[in-house]
Structure 1
C-alpha cells in the first residue's frame, strides 16, 4: 500500500528531491536555485551560501539565511573558508569561528554565524562550494556532513551534465568528459553511502539489490549473499512481502518513484515499521543508472497512533474518572475555603477577646497586689476564681488563633522522639492510671522544625480526647516514625506536598467515630461531648497548628475500632542540631530613667499597660495610634529606649509604625503585642527574624520580664558583618546569631558600604575581617564614618597584626578582636566596644 511521503525523514526526503531536480537541471542558474531552496532543509542550518570560484576569488552568488551574509561579495581564495575548501578539496568543519585561524573573523563578526560547514563541489580544481551556517557553536550531526557531501556530489554531477565547469558559466567543451565525471560522481556517491552506514540502499537499474549495502546489513543482519536480488524480501513481514514486491516491480517498470510502507525484521529479532522511498538516478541520456532508496523508522509513530486509538476507545471511561477526580478536588477546595472563612472570623473574635482579657486579667492581678498578703478569704476566693476563669478564656482564644493559623510560632529544629519521651510523666498525670500509655519511637528519627510548646500542647490535647473517647480506661499509643509521602498520595490529598516527613500517630482503643462525625471532626465548635464538657476547639487547634507548621493531619477511625490521629511534619533539611532551651530571664524593674513609648488603640488596654510600666519604674509615654506616636518621638529631647506597640491598629499598623520610628531613631528597640497578628510580623506561620513579640493577654510578670529582657540586651544589636571568605563568614554569622544579634552579611567592602548607605547607617556596629580589606582598612573606616559619625567598628584579625592595628586606631569607637574567636570572646569584644562608644541616636 502506498504511503504519503511525510513518513520519510525530512532531510533525506529533501536530498532525494533535490537529486531528482538536479538530474534534470541544464543551466548554472537552475542548479544554484535548486541548492538555494533545498540546502537548509537538508542540513538543518540557519543559513546556506553557494560560492563559485572565479580565478583567484570566491564569488558568493546565492544565499538563504536568517540574516544577511555575503551575497554578491568576492573574497580572495586564500582569505575565505570556501576558498580553503576548494583549494584543499575537502570539507571545512568549524565548530567555533572565533577559534579557527581559517576564518576571517572581521567578515563574520557582523553576521549571526557561530559555526559552519563548507563542502567543496567538483573534482580536481574545485569550481564551487556550498556553505552551511549555524547561529550557535558546536558540531552538526554526522549525517548532516554526509548529506551535504552527497548534495555537493549531486551538484557536481549536475554541473558536469549541463557542461558547466565554472561558476562564471563556462561550459565544458567535451561531452565525453561530462560522462566520465558522472561515472566518477556515482562512484563517490557509493563511497558516501558506505560512510553514512544508515538505512540507505541502492539497486541495479533492473531493481535488483547488489553490491555492498552496509545500511541494510546493519538493519537486518543479512549478508550480501542473503539480500542479493530479491533476497531482501525475506526480512519483510510475510503479510507485507508480496505487496512490497508487486509495488516495487510496478515502480521499476514505470521508472517512477517508489513510495511504500512495510514491517521489517531487525537484527535484534524485533519488528519495526518503516516508510520506504526510492528514486531512479538517470544519466545524461535519460537512462537509469541505479535506484537509490531509504528506509525511515516510523515505529514510534505507528505505536503512538495505536495508543491514540486505544485512548479514544477508553475516552468515556477516562472522562468519568476525570469528572470524579474533579468533584473530589472541588470538595477539598470547598472544605478548605470553609475552614479559611471560619478561621478569619475566629481570628478576629480572638483579637477583640484578647484585648478584653488583657484588661480583666491585668486588673485582677493588680487588685491581688494591692490587697497584700492578708485579704479576706471570700475576697481571695473570688479573685482566684475570676483569674482562673480568665485563664481558661485565654486558653480558648489561643485555640481559636491556632485554628485560624494566626498564632505566632517560634519553630526550631526538634527531635520529636526526645520531646515525647520527655512528656511521659506529663501524659501519665494528665490521663490517670487507668489509661495504659505506650510510646514508640523509630530509629534514626529525622528532625522537624516546629514550635515545641505548641506541639506538646497538641499531643496533650489529642491524648485527653483519646481518654474521653475511652471513657477513662483503655490503651493509648503514641508512635513516631520517619515516612515518605509519595506523589500518588499527594495527588489525592492536594493540600500536602510529596516528600520526607516525621509522622506522629496518637491511637486509642475508644469508641471510634461514625463517618458523619469524622467528616466534621476539624470543624470549630463541633463536639459530641455533653454540654459544658467540651469547647469543640481541640481538633480545630490541632488542624490549624499542623497546617501553620507546613504539615498534614489525617484521622483514621471506625465505630467500635478506636481512632488514630496522624500528624505529618516535614523533615527539617537544615543542620542536624537541636537548640538548647534558653535560660529563663528574671524580671526586674526599670533603671536609669529608661523611657518606653506605649502605642495601643484600645484605651483600657493602654491604661493598664502604662500603669504596669510606671509601677515598674519606667518613664512612660503613650499614644493611641501610629501618627500620634511619631509626633511624640519627633518632639522628644530625651532618648526613647523602647517602643511597645500593638500590631493591629486602624490606619498605620504596628509594623509600619516601627519602621517609620526606626528611620527617626535607628537604635530604637521595639516590642510588638497583639492577640491577632494577621501578616504584619508573621509570615509562613512564624515570627519574622529579629521580631520581639508578647502575646495578649499578658500578665504583670510576663510584661515586666519581656521588657527587661529586651532592654538588657547589648546596645550593639544590629550588626553588619564583612568577610570575603565564604566559609569563615558563614561560621561567624551563625556565631553572631547564636548570641541573639541580628546580622547582615557582606562579602566585600563595596557591598558593605552599599548596605550601610541604603539603611542610612541603621546598624549598631560593623564587624570587619582584616583579611577582607587589608591595606584598604583605613579608607573603609573613613567611608563608614562618613555615612554615620562614630559608628562602632570591630576589627577581627590575626594576633600578629593586632599591635599594629591598635597603634593606628586609638579611638574609642574602634575595637579589636583576635582570630580565632569563640562566642565568649565575641560577646566580650562587643560589650567593651559598647561601653566605650555609645552610638549616636
Structure 2
C-alpha cells in the first residue's frame, strides 16, 4: 500500500500512525519505523525508475521524429504541410526542385501560387470541400512552376486531426508525372501506328491484286492490232496510274513494315552523301546545304533505295521549312557514330547491336509546335498546303527506319528550327553489295513450256493466263493451292514452272509449294504476293523467286524466263 503513496503522503501517514499508537512499546515502534523506512526507500526507487522510463521514451520518440523528418526531407515527391486555413507551414526540398519555389517563397502563403489556368475553378472547390469534410482527396492537376511553365502532377491531400477530432493541418504529397505522361503518349502512339500498320497490311493484298488485274488487261489491250494512237495513249495512262497507285501502297507498306525490301550490306556515308548531292540539284539556290561526315567507312544492313528515299524526304522537308527564312536559310546533314548509353537506353530501350550510325538533319526554319509534333509521323497528316504534300512522307520514313531496326526522333521549337535524328544499327563490313540491275528487253518470250498459274483472284487469273500465253507458253490455271497441287500431280512431267499467289483460301501458296517440293525436289516455283511474307515462309520450300504485286509484264516475263532457263 505504501508503494502507491507519494513522499508527502507517506510522511503524514507515518505521523498519524505514531499518534494512534503512543502506547506501543519501544521495540514495537522501532519495528514499525523500520518497515516505514523500507517503504520509503521502495517508493524512491520506483520514482527513479519511472523517471528513467520517461527519459527513454522521450529519447525513442525523438529518434523516431528525426527519422520521419529525414524521410520527408529526402523524398522525391513534393510534400506541403498547411494549417487548417490552408496557409503553408512547411515544404520539403523536392517541392523546390519540382516547382522552382524556395521555402521562403511560399511559407505563409496558400498553395494557389501553383495554380494554372488548366483547371476549372469548380475543380478546386470540390477539392477543398472534400478535405474540409475530413476526407482524403486524390487526383491529377496541371500546376505552374515559378518560371511559368506547366507540369502534370498526381496529388494526395490528407487532413491531420487533433484528439477531439477537429482538423489541425493538411498534408499534400505531389509527384511530377511529366516523364510518365510522355512515356504513356509514346506507348499509345506506337499502338496507334501498329494498328494502322495492321490495317494497311490487311488491305494491301486485295488492292494490289486489283492493280495487277488492271495492268495486265491494259497490256493485253495495247497488243491488239489496229488500235488508234489515242486509245494506246489512254491504255498507257491506265498502266501508269496503276503503277503509281502501286508505289503509294508500297510506301504505306513500308510504313507498316510489311513491304518488300532488298536488305544488303551498305556503306552509309556514300549513300547519304549521294542523297545530299541529288538534293542540291532540286532545292532553291539560296538554301545552304552542308554535309558533315564524322565517321570512316561504316556499314549497316539496309535497303539502299528505301534509305535513299528517307534521306531525300528529310532533306526536302527541311528545305521546305526554311522557305520563309530571310537570312541565311540552311540545312545541315551530320553523320556520326553513337554508342548507346543510359540516356539512349532509357529513351529507346537496349539493343544488341555494335552501336548506331546517327544521322541528324537540321534546319533553321519555322520549327514545329508541341501540339503538331505528336502527329507528324501519322499517315496523311501534313501541315503543307493542298497540292504540296501527301502526308505519307514522314509516315514512310517512320516505317522504313523501324523496318531497319532503327529509331527516329525529332526535336524542334517554333522559330528555332528542327532536327530529325535517325539511328541505324551498325554491322561489320561485308563484301556483299547490291547487285547491279541488268538492262532488260521489253518482254522475254518462252518456247511453249507449260506453266501452272495459281491465284484466287478471278480477274488476275484470267488476265495473267492470257498474258503468259501471249509470251509463248502453255498455261494451266486454278484458284487455290489445293487445286494447284492436284493439277501438278496430274501434269508432273509437263510442268516447267509453277507461279502461285502466297495468300489463298483452302491452301496457301507456301503450303502447296512445300508439298510440290516433297514430290519433286527440282520443281521451279515463283511466289507472288501483295506484300512481303518472306519472313513467314518455311526455308525448306526454297522458292526460286518472290515477286511483289503489282508487277510489270516486263518484270514477270523476265522472271519466268530466267527461272525456267537458270
TM-score interval (norm. to shorter): 0.5 to 0.7
User: Is the Cα–Cα contact under 8 Å of residues 404 and 544 in structure 1 kept in the other structure?
Assistant: yes
Q: Does 1:692 align with 2:545?
A: yes
Alignment of 1:55-70 (within 5 A): none
Provide closer, same or farther for how the CA distance between residues 478 and 311 of structure 1 changes in structure 2, counting only shifts above 3 A: same
- Whether contact under 8 Å (2:366, 2:414) holds in the other structure is yes
**Residue pair 2:243, 2:550 contacting (<8 A) in 1 also:** no
- Number of corresponding residues: 402
Q: Displacement of 1:475 after TM fit? A: 2.8
* Residue of 705, 721, 730 corresponding to 2:558: 705
* Pairing 1:347–2:201 present: yes
Counterpart for residue 249 of structure 2 = 397
Cα deviation, residue 679, structure 1: 6.7
Cα pair 2:322 2:366 within 8 Å, conserved: yes
Matched, 1:448 2:208: no
Q: Is the 8 Å Cα contact of residues 434 and 472 (structure 1) preserved in structure 2?
A: no
Q: TM (normalized to structure 1)?
A: 0.44
- In the other structure, the counterpart of 1:552 is 407
TM-superposed CA distance for 1:362, in Å, is 2.7
Measure, in 2, the Cα distance between the counterparts of 1:522 and 1:611. 42
Partner of 1:426: 278
Give the deviation of 1:472 after TM superposition: 8.9
Q: 2: distance between equivalents of 1:596 and 1:658?
A: 14
Q: Distance in 2 between matches of 1:504 and 1:557?
A: 16
Change (3 A) 1:391 1:636: closer
- 1:723-734 matched pairs, under 5 angstroms: none
Three-state SS of the structure 1 residue aligned to 2:224 is helix
2:269 match: 417
User: 1 CA distance for matches of 2:418 and 2:512?
Assistant: 48
Match of 1:515 among 359, 370, 374: 370
Q: Distance in 1 between matches of 2:408 and 2:465?
A: 43
Q: CA deviation at 1:497?
A: 6.7
Asked whether the equivalents of residues 437 and 477 of structure 1 are also in contact (C-alpha less than 8 Å), the reply is yes
Aligned to 2:291: 439
The DSSP-based 3-state class of the residue aligned with 1:586 is coil
What's the offset of the Cα at 1:547?
A: 0.5
- Aligned equivalents of 1:561, 1:455: Cα separation in 2: 27
Specify every segment of 5 or more residues in structure 2 that has no aligned partner in the other structure, as ranges. 1-65, 79-172
Aligned mate of 1:645, from 488, 500, 504: 500
Match of 2:222 among 354, 368, 374: 368
CA distance in 2, matches of 1:352, 1:512: 39
In the alignment, is residue 604 of structure 1 matched against residue 459 of structure 2? yes
- After superposition, where does 1:461-500 map in structure 2 within 5 Å? 461-471=313-323, 474-494=329-349, 500=355
What is the aligned partner in structure 1 of residue 132 from structure 2?
none
Cα 1:334–1:375 change in 2 (3 A) is same
Quote how far apart the aligned CAs of 1:678 are: 4.9
Which position in structure 2 is the counterpart of 1:561?
416
Give the aligned partner of residue 331 of structure 1. Answer: 185
In structure 2, the CA distance between the partners of 1:634 and 1:387, relative to structure 1 (3 Å rule), is: closer
Given the two structures, how large is their TM-score scaled by the length of structure 2? 0.64
Q: Could you say which residue in structure 2 is the equivalent of 1:626?
A: 481
Three-state SS of the structure 2 residue aligned to 1:365 is helix
| Unmatched segments (≥5 aa) in structure 1 | 1-305, 714-841
Q: In structure 2, do the counterparts of structure 1 residues 624 and 572 end up closer, same or farther at CA, with 3 Å as the change threshold? A: same
Query: What's the Cα RMSD here?
Result: 3.3
Distance 2:357 2:174 in 1: 36
| 3-state SS of 2:208 partner | helix
> What is the Cα deviation at residue 379 of structure 1?
3.2
Following TM superposition, by how much is the alpha carbon of 1:311 offset from its aligned partner in structure 2, in angstroms? 7.4
Compute the displacement of 1:315 (Å): 5.1
Counterpart contact for 1:485–1:498, Cα < 8 Å: no
Name the structure 2 match of 1:458: 310
Aligned-pair CA distance for 1:349: 2.4
Per-residue CA distance 1:325-359 (angstroms, 9 max, x = gap):
55443332211111101111122222222111112
Give the alignment of 1:646-665 within 5 angstroms: 646-665=501-520
Indicate whether 1:408 and 2:260 are aligned. yes
Distance 2:324 2:542 in 1: 44
What is residue 92 of structure 2 aligned with on the other side? Answer: none
- Contact map agreement 1:415 1:578 (CA 8 A) in 2: no
Cα 1:627–1:547 shift into 2, 3 Å: same
- Per-residue CA distance 1:738-792 (angstroms, 9 max, x = gap): xxxxxxxxxxxxxxxxxxxxxxxxxxxxxxxxxxxxxxxxxxxxxxxxxxxxxxx
Alignment-derived partner of residue 431 in structure 2: 577
Change (3 A) 1:386 1:470: farther
Shift in Å at residue 531 of structure 1? 3.0
The structure whose RCO (Cα within 8 Å, separation 6+) is larger is 2
